[in-house]
Amino acid sequence: MTTYQGLAKKYRPQKFSEVFQQDPIVQTIKNALRLNRVGHAYLFCGTRGTGKTTLARLFAKALNCQNLSDEQEPCNTCPSCKEVVSGHSLDVIEVDGASNRGIDDIRNLNETVGYASSSGKYKIYIIDEVHMLTKEAFNALLKTLEEPPEHVIFFFATTEPHKVLPTIISRCQRFDLKRITPEKILEKLKQILQDLGFQAEEDALHLIAAYADGSLRDAESLLDRLLCFHEEEITAEKLSETLGLVSRDLFFKLDQAALSHDLLFAFQLSEQVFNEGAHLEYFLESLANHYRNLLVIKLGKTQELGALLTASDKEKYLKSASFYTHEQCLEILDILRSQLEQLPKSPFKRIDLEILLLQIIRSMKKMPLDQLVNQLVELKSAVSQAPTQSKKSASLIEEPKVQVITSDEEPSPSKEVALLPQQAPSPEIASPPLKTEAPSPAPQEITPPLQEAPPPQIHAEKIDSAVQKKIKHDKVMCFASVELSGSIRKG
């Protein structure tokens, strides 16, 4: 019975030409081999599954290859190449930096550096995850890197170069590997399926490439898992069931719910996510990527959506993009960004997810910042004329009030004078000087102001309406200032 070999190991590149999307680094290595300008230490940096260890092994294999081609490709047929491929080479030593990270491990390595190679030209050390070494171990390795033997070459690989001591980095030639694009991952998956004789839907391969997140090894491992689980054709539905993914159609339904302001859909979607056992963190990442695509469309960059979207999905995205403004997309992305770290760690994941979805749906009804500012400016300019009108009306009212007050004070003595002649029987009191009827015109002067009283009431009504408008304006400005300050703080 033969031992099964995983797809990631079976289809590992054995030549430089098989390496995906690292052309500048490959060309530099080939030139170093051709010009015989090989350094004594190299540092390969990059995320997982981008080919750091693969390039180190290919470089080591080419250095000791006995039949190197004119294109600086290893032959893979000589004993040295076969030993490197099988992992039994005495001249290519691989060390796991995570499990051999102490100073004693590096001291033992330094003792073997002085020994000559067994069959090849160079003795090569490949230290993976070198950032896991302790500071003391780095310092112990530093002396060897400063004055290495001529036949010794070090290859370091790390996903976190910022944790490597600067003194180590300065003594190495550093190569930063790129993430593998989804298009290249898709191309590699199709080659593997064609070689194995399996069938898979295009949408399923798109999901695998997107889920791999730039790691070709992760995509190959995932495809290996699916081939064991589904003997027939691999479909997007089966893939979603296996990985606990949520269909992209749910995101388009969320757009429709936001357009119709259907708050109940937030609870329905949350229930479906938890009942299906979906990966919550990946769901949030996919939702954020969904609104990123909508924002790209709103900014007029539809061609940048990439090849991972089918024609039907692109049509759905164009339709959903018409529901939003780019300010709303930015606000939703800001909400998702804050929840990507908090929600997976929350003890109340379902409630937090429902609140998040409710915020997304309610954001459609929120007034855009530009429109809010414009309305505030228009409202301020419209109300700015109200104080001048109220002042004019107040000045018109003051004059009749003064006339009414003076007229009320003058009639009082005239009434007393009219009563005295009626009550006094003696003729002495009714003397001519006291019977002056001069105040008689005063009542005639009182009657005109009484007829002119209604106009001041009209002006008073105008003042009341102006005051009411002022109060309403103050309330609107207070509410708008709160909304505006919240929007500016978010921006």
Q: What is the pLDDT of residues 432-448, one digit of tens each?
A: 454 444 444 444 444 44
First to last CA, the chain: 63
Q: In what order do the strands lie in the sheet with 123-128?
A: 92-96, 123-128, 152-158, 41-45, 173-176
Q: Which amino acid is at 99?
A: S
Confidence label for 185 from pLDDT (cuts 50, 70 and 90): very high
- Residue 292: pLDDT above 80? yes
**pLDDT for residue 488:** 55
> CATH code for 7-176?
3.40.50.300
* DSSP H or E stretch at residue 126: strand 123-128
- Both tokens of 409, joined, read 């004070």
Residues 6+ apart with CB under 8 A from 144: 110, 113, 152
Enumerate the domain spans of the chain: 7-176, 182-243, 249-366, 372-400+448-491
Please tell me the distance from the alpha carbon of residue 488 to that of residue 369, in angstroms, as a whole number: 9
What global pTM score does this model have?
0.69
Is CATH 3.30.1510.10 the classification given to domain 249-366?
A: no
What's the confidence (pLDDT) of residue 240? 79
Give the integer Cα–Cα distance in Å for 134 and 97.
10
pLDDT tier at 233, thresholds 50, 70, 90:
confident
CATH fold match for the domains 182-243 and 249-366? no
Q: Where are the alpha helices (H) located in 116-177, listed in sequence order?
A: 135-146, 166-169
- Mean pLDDT over each residue of the chain, to the nearest integer: 80
Give dist(CA 441, CA 193) in Å, integer. 117
- Per-residue pLDDT averaged across 355-382, rounded? 80
The domain 182-243 is classified under which CATH number: 1.10.8.60, 3.40.50.720, 3.40.50.261, 2.60.40.10? 1.10.8.60
Average pLDDT over residues 346-363: 91
Q: Which residue has the tokens 């959903």?
A: 320
Work out the pLDDT band at 415, boundaries 50, 70, 90. Answer: very low
Output the pLDDT for position 95: 93
> Predicted confidence band at 135 (pLDDT cuts at 50, 70, 90)?
very high
Question: Residue 90 in 3-state DSSP?
Answer: coil
**What pLDDT, in 10s, does the model give residues 21-61?**
899 999 999 999 999 999 999 999 999 999 999 999 999 99
DSSP code for 177: P
Q: Which candidate, 53, 71, 49, places its Cα nearest to that of 62? A: 71
